Amino acid sequence: MSYQAINEVTRGLRRLLVSQLTAVSPTAVVTLLPPGNALPDRLGVNLYLYRVMESPFTRNRPWPGDRAPTFPSEQPALGLQLSYLLTPLGTTPTTDANTGDDAHTMLGLAMRTLLEHPILNDIHLPNFEADTVLPDFLLNSFEKIKMMLVPTNIEELSKIWATINQPYRLSVAYEVSLVEITPTPPPPVGGGIVLSTGVNVITLDPPRLVALSPATGALARIAGTTLTANTLRIDGFGFSFPGQTPIVRVAGEQVEINTVPAPTDNSLTVTLPTDVDGGPQIDVTVRLNSRPSRSLVFNISPWLSSARPVRSAIDSKHGAADLKLNLVGNGFTNTPLNVRFEGPGGTSSVSVFDAGNNDGKATITIPIGLANGVYKVRLVLGDAASSATNSRELEIIPCVDSPIVLATTTAVSGKNVHRLTINGARLNGADVRLNLDDQIVQTGVNAVPTQLNLTLGRLLLAGTHRVAVNVDGLTSRTVTLEV
């Protein structure tokens, strides 16, 4: 029998009892819970395997095999005797003197079932057909699975319940034997006659890269309004091995190998990442069978080296440093199509460039309508493919105007306090907080984008104070407040 013999015997007993109990009570259950667990308040029985002992009858006896075509073994099988505790389940009995306990009905029906059908292998009932319920290794065994009620006095049963530290409940004990766990069969010997031979010689050399197509190009393009990654074809040798899949890395990042066209031993097509950590020259490698190839260089063009500033409040008081976005790189051409902003609320673009642009430099005015958040900025060419650069980040933060309006007002408690009126832009948000001299004052929701009003709980001391506003996690520049 298999190592699953214990589990299959328990499953067979459970299905046998279920088939008979549900014929009397359709909602009856057979549980396998340890008696220490909370047993369900439903009709049925609980079948608990509480002891497994080795049978002395098969000890040191070579296993003879079974009815199936198997090889016997000089190693003995492990014969087991399984001890089960059968506990009736039922709902709480009523106080009616004319009724009994339905749990006793379930116990009697379960005991009658095991009395009338003591050999599990030979049971053939309408709701339990052993030939289909039990696995082959139980049906083919020379040993039958026999079930026997064990005479057990109240003292022995009490010891079982005391072991699990639970109060005694009505239960009966059954012994099921013989359950055998058989030795692992030996591997087959004596193979068939060799009629023909075929030897495929596969070298364990690393993959060899010959060319990239294209060797220079953009990482991505704009298809309609969607950013779409470009593909790269890698030509060479040794890109396949039985049971192995090549790993392609571009700029150190593993990329997807396309299935169309299908990869071959000499060619792979991959999807490029839309962003890489370094450039514009990046390495392309193929790894197979734990052996990496030598790298070939892919030149990214157009390439965006930097975008300045990296943080802006779009505040006219800071002049061009806060209103203009300066892009530096290569392959821009003199007439790019636009600059694309990917961020909160979707994607927007600016197609008007300042004078003086060239192949490595472009300047635009940051759109004043951008919301707070972190944007990926890309330059898009005016070529047929609408080629796009890699991205650089631009953080748009709340704008706080100076000076801050300070007024004295009377609080609810009757004392004088200060009230701040902060003007600016993008001051609306679900979580707005004021940073006053490095102390956080939480204001909650602010629906007005151009103004924030806040009444403090005190009067500020005379002197210079530092004020900043945080809107949904983005903090404005710090401005000074004179009191």
The pLDDT of residue 191 is above 70: no
Kindly state the average pLDDT of the residues 42-47. Answer: 92
Domain 208-300 has CATH 3.30.470.10: no
- State both tokens at 24: 């009397």
For 5, the 3-state DSSP assignment is helix
Model pLDDT, residue 328: 96
Give residue 204's pLDDT band: very low, low, confident or very high (50, 70, 90). Answer: confident
pLDDT tens digits for 219-259?
999 999 999 999 999 999 999 888 889 999 999 999 999 99
pLDDT tens digits for 126-156?
889 998 898 888 888 888 899 999 988 888 8
Backbone angles phi, psi at 145, to 5 degrees: -95, 105
Backbone angles phi, psi at 201, to 5 degrees: -90, 115
Q: Which CA distances in Å does 424 have to 22, 373, 421?
A: 75, 16, 10
Give dist(CA 57, CA 378) in Å, integer: 81
Give dist(CA 414, CA 180) in Å, integer: 89
Model pLDDT, residue 338: 95
The pLDDT of residue 19 is above 90: yes
Say if CB 406 and CB 417 are below 8 A apart: no
CATH number for 5-181 (one of 3.40.50.150, 1.10.10.10, 1.10.1580.10, 3.30.2000.30): it is 3.30.2000.30
Model pLDDT, residue 183: 79
Is there a common fold for 208-300 and 303-396?
A: yes
Give residue 179's pLDDT band: very low, low, confident or very high (50, 70, 90). Answer: confident
Model pLDDT, residue 167: 78
Q: Which CA distances in Å does 3 have to 67, 143, 183, 184?
A: 18, 15, 9, 9
Model pLDDT, residue 373: 95
Model pLDDT, residue 190: 64
Q: Annotate 152-209 with three-state secondary structure.
A: CCHHHHHHHHHHCCCCCCCCEEEEEEEEEECCCCCCCCCCCCCCCCCCCCCCCCCCEE
Give dist(CA 223, CA 387) in Å, integer: 9
Class of domain 399-482: mainly beta
Share of the chain above pLDDT 70, in %: 95
Q: Annotate 44-109 with three-state secondary structure.
A: EEEEEEEEEEECCCCCCCEECCCCCCCCCEEEECEEEEEEEEEEEECCCCCCCCCCCCHHHHHHHH
Give residue 65's pLDDT band: very low, low, confident or very high (50, 70, 90). Answer: confident
Kindly state the average pLDDT of the residues 20-34. Answer: 91
Backbone angles phi, psi at 313, to 5 degrees: -100, 5
Model pLDDT, residue 414: 80
pLDDT tens digits for 406-464?
999 887 678 899 999 999 999 999 999 999 999 999 888 999 999 999 988 889 999 99
Give dist(CA 361, CA 187) in Å, integer: 72
Domain 303-396 has CATH 3.40.50: no
Model pLDDT, residue 155: 84
Model pLDDT, residue 140: 85
Model pLDDT, residue 46: 92
Model pLDDT, residue 347: 93
Lowest mean pLDDT among 65-74, 204-213, 227-236, 335-344: 65-74
Domain boundaries in the chain?
Answer: 5-181, 208-300, 303-396, 399-482
Model pLDDT, residue 186: 66
Count Cβ atoms within 10 A of the Cβ of residue 199 and give its class: 0-12 exposed, 13-18 middle, 19 or more buried: exposed
Give residue 64's pLDDT band: very low, low, confident or very high (50, 70, 90). Answer: confident
